[in-house]
Amino acid sequence: ETPFVITNIATSELTKYAANAFLATKVSFINEMANYCERIGGDVHAIARGIGLDKRIGSKFLHAGPGFGGSCFPKDTRSAAHFAREAGEGFEIIEAAIRVNERQRMRMVEKITRAVGGELAGRTIAMLGLSFKPETDDMRDAPSIDVARELQERGATVRAYDPVAMENAARQIPGLLLCKTEYEACENADALVLMTEWNQFRMLDLARIKGLLREPVLVDLRNVYEPAAMRRAGFRYDGVGRS
């Protein structure tokens, strides 16, 4: 009972581009809104819930974080923008979404840097999750690649754990220290960064994590945990777009 839309080849291909570019734009939009929230004390979770209740907008793809990755959104947004330019039609909305996504990854590096006192040289960062989304070992255009490489470039050591993507990540991120468990990754780290929202990371033994870290610092790039609850647990917590 799946509906079919019969059209010509150009329209068919553009329909796929349009779908992925529109969803990627939603991700970039909520990330820009999250950055704005951090400036003025708003809560992007509440904003996403509020606008998601509007059926014209919907609640999907309104999760603030380090930006989109994977095999579809980066490829299709770049391709759509490229072919539009070749045809003499600038696609400014898509190009803006791409720029926002690229900037967002570096904003996450700055967030991590601030969390450890403004200096990464000599610091150890624990990173949980490497794949671009949970339930896959896909590292294509994963935000973790740019974030981890930049942390290393600034002098930090990155200890990482992912349930299935570590073999692929090792090829993408030379020098990454791969750990056997999430808890091993946290040993003697100056901060914990939650990069990919695997379900097992939603139920961490926080008391154990706190004891393993040098400092109780959690940078939650997927807003898995609640800020107030984490502060009550004794963590210096920083999410994305949450005051």
Q: Annotated active-site positions, please?
A: 72
Tokens read off for 137: 């070992």
For residues 182 and 126, give the distance between their C-alpha atoms in angstroms, rounded to a whole number.
9
Q: Are 100 and 133 in contact (CB under 8 A)?
A: no
User: CB under 8 Å to 31, separation ≥6 — which residues?
Assistant: 64, 65, 67, 100, 101, 104, 240, 241
- Partnered with residue 178 across adjacent β-strands are 160
DSSP 94-157: HHHHHHHHHHHHHHHHHHHHHHTTS--TT-EEEEE--SSSSS----TT-HHHHHHHHHHHTT-E
- For residue 243, CA distances in Å to 83, 110, 197, 199, 228 come to 40, 17, 20, 24, 10
* Residues shown for the chain: 243
Q: In angstroms, rounded to a whole number, what is the distance separating the alpha carbons of residues 3 and 26? A: 25
| H or E segment to which residue 160 belongs | strand 157-161
- Give strand pairing partners of 159: 126, 177
- The span from the CA of 215 to the CA of 188, in Å, is 8
